[in-house]
Chains A and B, each alone.
Chain A
């Protein structure tokens, strides 16, 4: 009997709160719209940064996983034995033997003009035979190179240590910068939301005071404002998400078609993009909700 009474009371409470939120949103339509727009703009910028961070991270991973270890051999090295030994190392994905002639051709291509290496063929070729090895994961490259250097017949094993190190550092810095700027923007947006919702609370200050005199609980007062804030948060997030999806889709499609940007492969997999948009929805909801709660704190002290 008691729980039935409680359920009925909760239902009446919920109905009352939803009605209050609806009426308030109607009454403060323009204010609510402005707040939603502020949330939308903040989330668009924050979401844009997030997408940029996801793509930079992806690009760095691509670059790192494409790093090859060049294993240069002494002239008298036992190539068959070395090929077997290299294959046996854990983390090695592919092995390609490159003769000194092929190496010279590759070098010529890298320089952009094969004519530059004429005269270096045959006896004059300064390059040794080599294996080009790829690893299954970028972080395994340094230790694999170390192991390869210890093998008999190996003159040196290089992979561009400095480049990988710099790339890792750069990725870290860019990610920290993007998250930092994004968080600052989100904080700024929460401040604006608090100000906007406070106007709505101020408009109903008298009502809140009377509610407290009538014996309303703090949650009874808070809930309609919370629903109002969350509704504004959702509206803002929907607008921001729609805009981001449209703009990002367009940019991604352009980059994929652009032959000059072949090295930029934008992230399009739903598994990587879904967390970004779910995060935005959660953030928008929290921004609206927290904004309401912070705005109300002062008015509940009766």
Chain B
């Protein structure tokens, strides 16, 4: 599904590459943790997969298509196949829970009836049924992140990318969120999660890709976090 071939990413003004000759394959339906110290290149890799940025060298293929060669329309289609979850949730404060999730479908030009049905379904799935009319400020951190997950999920993405999704959550809420991710993955969505939540990584025993100073240092099928705090 995803193939990276000798991918290097340099940022102007930085002596060291953010990613250095990374090659790896990710299959459909996999659950992958991206781990490593801050500045290791996890966020850069996520940005490259979303095609927010382009690699300086090397190629990235998504279902056989080279991401560097997408035209405007193909780029939109690529992004519509991916759900993004952020550490800071990125919810619209003036919109309700329902409106925040519905926004993802309005952007795609879906009909109001379809939006209503799908949003209710996904809010039920993430455990937010009954909170439709609440505003983000009225929710806990964990609930806000669930809204973020619902917004990413509502368009039935093939791939869900999450950049430090538990970074602002307590341990218990983080565990619940990871359980939700596992359920979503069980339904066929491929997951790539950049995280520092070492205990959950250790506990869940999923594929772990470890980056350090932009280099791939470890790729284990059922790995652990592998760093000490």
Whether B104 is near chain A, meaning CB under 8 Å from some CB there, is yes
Chain B residue nearest to A212 (CB atoms) is: B79
Interface 9-residue window, one of A5-13, A36-44, A192-200 = A5-13
| Nearest CB in chain B: distance from A57 CB, A | 47
Q: Which of A210, A216, A217 has a CB less than 8 Å from the CB of B92?
A: A210
The residue in chain A whose Cβ has the minimal distance to the Cβ of B91 is: A210
Cβ of A9: which chain B residues have Cβ within 8 Å of it? 109-110
Is A215's CB under 8 angstroms from B80's CB? yes
Q: Who on chain B is nearest to A217 by CB? A: B76
Tell me the complex Cα distance, A209–B111, Å: 23
Determine how close the nearest CB of chain B comes to the CB of A301; give it in whole angstroms: 10
Identify which of residues 265-285 in chain A touch chain B, using a CB-to-CB cut-off of 8 Å: none
Q: Which single member of A12, A213, A302 contacts B110 (CB below 8 Å)? A: A12
Is A214 an interface residue, CB under 8 A from the partner? yes
A220 lies within 8 A of chain B by Cβ: yes
Question: What's the Cα separation between A214 and B100 when bound, in Å?
Answer: 11
Contact of A215 among B90, B108, B111 (CB under 8 A): B108
Interface membership of B15, Cβ < 8 A: no
Q: Is the CB of A211 within 8 A of B107?
A: yes
B151: which A residues are within 8 A, CB to CB?
Answer: 214
Task: Give the size category of A's interface with B.
Answer: 10 to 19
Q: Give the nearest-CB partner of B73 in chain A.
A: A217
Tell whether B52 is near chain A: CB-to-CB under 8 Å.
yes
Query: Is there a chain A Cβ closer than 8 Å to B153's Cβ?
Result: no
Residues of B near A207 (CB, < 8 A) are 92
A302 touches B52 (CB 8 A): yes
Beta-carbon contact of B92 and A215 below 8 Å: no
If A207-B92, A214-B103 touch, whether A8 touches B111 (CB-CB below 8 Å) is yes
Give residues of chain B (67-81) contacting chain A, Cβ–Cβ below 8 Å.
76-77, 79-80
Question: Is there contact, CB below 8 Å, between B90 and A12?
Answer: no
Q: How far is the CB of A241 from chain B (nearest CB, A)?
A: 35
Q: Is A206 at the interface (CB under 8 A from chain B)?
A: yes
In angstroms, how far is the closest chain A Cβ from the Cβ of B206?
Answer: 25
B106 close to chain A: CB less than 8 A: yes
Interface of A is mostly: helix
Is B84 interfacial (CB 8 A cutoff)? yes
Tally of chain B residues near chain A (CB < 8 A)? 20
The answer, among B107, B111, B112, for a CB contact under 8 Å with A216, is B107
Cα-based distance from A105 to B79 in the complex (angstroms): 91
Inter-chain contacts of B80 with A (CB < 8 A) = 214-215
- A16 in the interface (beta carbon within 8 A): yes
Residue in chain A with minimal CB distance to B78: A215
Contacts of B111 in A (CB 8 A): 8, 12
Contacts A210-B103, A213-B84, A214-B103 hold; do A12 and B109 have CB atoms under 8 A apart?
A: yes
Task: Identify which of B52, B103, B112 gathers the most chain A CB atoms within 10 Å of its CB.
Answer: B103
Cβ contact within 8 Å between A213 and B79:
yes
Cβ-defined contact, A214 with B104, below 8 A = yes
B18-50 vs A, Cβ < 8 Å mask (1 yes, 0 no):
000000000000000000000000000000001
Q: A210-B103, A213-B84, A302-B52 are in contact. Are A10 and B92 (CB under 8 A)?
A: no
List 12 other contacts, CB 8 Å, given A16-B109, A206-B92, A211-B107.
Answer: A8-B111, A12-B106, A12-B109, A12-B112, A16-B106, A214-B79, A214-B80, A214-B104, A214-B151, A220-B107, A220-B109, A302-B52
A binding-site residues for B, Cβ under 8 Å: 8-10, 12-13, 16, 206-207, 209-211, 213-217, 220, 302
Report 22 cross-chain contacts, Cβ distance below 8 Å, ordered by A residue: A8-B111, A12-B106, A12-B111, A12-B112, A209-B90, A210-B90, A210-B92, A210-B103, A211-B103, A213-B79, A213-B84, A213-B90, A214-B80, A214-B103, A214-B104, A214-B107, A214-B151, A215-B80, A215-B155, A217-B76, A220-B109, A302-B52
